[in-house]
Amino acid sequence: MASRSRWPSTRSVLRLFNLLPSYNLSPLLHTVRHNGTVAAAAEVPESRKSPIQILRTAAEVRSWRREQLTKGLTVGLVPTMGALHTGHMRLVQSSMRMNDATMVSIFVNPSQFAPTEDLASYPRDFDADIEQLAAQDGDNRQVDVVFAPHVEEMYPNGIPLHIAEQKGAFVTVHGLSEQLEGRIRPQFFRGVATVVSKLLNIVTPERVYFGQKDIQQTVVVKRLVQDLCYGSVVHVVPTSRDANGLALSSRNAYLTEQTRQDAAVIYKGLQNAVMVYRQNTSAEKIIEAVVSTITEKFDKEEIEYVCVNDKDTLEELETVHPLKGAIVSLAVRVPNKFGGKTRLIDNILL
Ligand code: AMP
């Protein structure tokens, strides 16, 4: 591996902390049993009176989809894991602009979490999500339908978190899933590609929306769609940020006020990467600029990686070709309000 990236000696992925409001947790903590293993998976609640139609099964979605087709209406799909924020809503707005009908899926996908990760404590607030989605846009339109399946609907044969125990059909996009985030989270993109395949098969949307915030995910999904001949067009929506530049993320809720402010250096570092690139196309110089900015507020050891990669192949670059550009991406472990660390990822295009 080229020496242009910065990797720490320890690459353990931090367990995040239990943030679930008591309101949501206890009645919903659900166990998935398979081959004697038990994976905790908190699920969305049954809808109370909802201002939006909520579908729970693939059969219901297919029936809704057939109706749209019969009426000649186009469908946009926005896949999410809930805990919605303005970044998610930008995707929703893009879909509403470009399609006759918009479906948002809310599903915390177990197969993309390693057993050591935060599946059970991933933030969930279904009612708040529905409220946001029900808010009408300037043209008095709202999201048409939410697909919020239970785990059994998406994984009818169970989904143990240990990959060695998983049986059945899974989807891997080889060559794009092993580097960057895939190095630290080896089963992450297999889980993402699998659940996105399921969603595309069930919904068959004209268009599907992903955020640039998770840029490797967009590269993986585009290749998935191309290689498995899905008919949906993938749209990538720019990253939404706090006023100080911090990329919005459901996990920012774990940060203290101070670290949330300090974390502004992450985007500042990425902007400095762009400035350096205007003078110098060496990946090493670009990475140095990012690292030196981030270390204004955080220890060097907390920077998991800063890498410069090709936009399509994710090949690690030593020099950026001005006609092709590149992705600068990074992960930093930032102190959180529980005395631990929260991983933040971000990127910028050169
Ligand atoms: P998640 O619920 O975290 O899986 O995210 C669902 C979708 O929203 C993914 O396509 C993300 O890339 C996208 N997303 C999350 N945060 C942001 C953000 N700050 N800006 C733009 N898109 C985002």
Sign of CA pseudo-dihedral 242, 90, 185, 157 = positive
Q: Which position has the token pair 């919904």?
A: 203
Ligand 1 pocket test, candidate residues 44, 88, 212, 342, most atoms within 8 A of CB: 88
Ligand 1: does its nearest atom lie under 6 Å from the Cβ of 250?
yes
Nearest ligand 1 atom to the CA of 210 is 10
Of 274, 247, 255, the residue nearest 328 (C-alpha): 274
Ligand 1 centroid to residue 215 C-alpha, Å: 10
Ligand 1 centroid to residue 68 C-alpha, Å: 26
Ligand 1 centroid to residue 35 C-alpha, Å: 33
Ligand 1: does its nearest atom lie under 6 Å from the Cβ of 190?
no
DSSP state letter for 255: B
User: Looking at residue 279, what is its pLDDT?
Assistant: 95
Of 154, 126, 148, 151, the residue nearest 56 (C-alpha): 148
Ligand 1: does its nearest atom lie under 6 Å from the Cβ of 249?
yes
Contact 234, 222 (CB under 8 A): yes
Sign of CA pseudo-dihedral 23, 338, 258, 264 = negative
Closest Cα to atom 17 of ligand 1: 87
User: Looking at residue 203, what is its pLDDT?
Assistant: 98
Q: Could you list the beta-strand ranges (E) of the chain.
A: 29-34, 37-42, 53-55, 75-80, 101-106, 145-147, 207-211, 233-237, 303-309, 327-335, 341-349
Ligand 1: does its nearest atom lie under 6 Å from the Cβ of 240?
yes
Q: What b-and-e string marks burial along 269-291, b requiring 16 or more CB atoms within 10 Å of the CB?
A: bbebbeebbeeebbbbebbbbbe
Which token pair is 150?
Answer: 């239970």
User: Looking at residue 115, what is its pLDDT?
Assistant: 94
Name the pairing type of β-strands 145-147 and 101-106: parallel
Ligand 1 pocket test, candidate residues 132, 189, 212, 213, most atoms within 8 A of CB: 213
Distance CA 76, CA 208 (A): 6
Ligand 1 centroid to residue 87 C-alpha, Å: 6
Query: What pairs with residue 42 in β-bridges?
Result: 29
Q: Each residue's pLDDT tens digit in the chain (350 positions)?
A: 344 455 543 322 222 222 222 222 222 333 333 333 334 444 555 545 678 999 999 999 999 999 999 999 999 999 999 999 999 999 999 999 999 999 999 999 999 999 998 899 888 999 999 999 998 776 778 899 999 999 999 999 999 999 999 999 999 999 999 999 999 999 999 999 999 999 999 999 999 999 999 999 999 999 999 999 999 999 999 999 999 999 999 889 999 999 999 999 999 999 999 999 999 999 999 999 999 999 999 999 999 999 999 999 999 999 999 999 999 999 999 999 999 999 999 999 99
Ligand 1: does its nearest atom lie under 6 Å from the Cβ of 52?
no
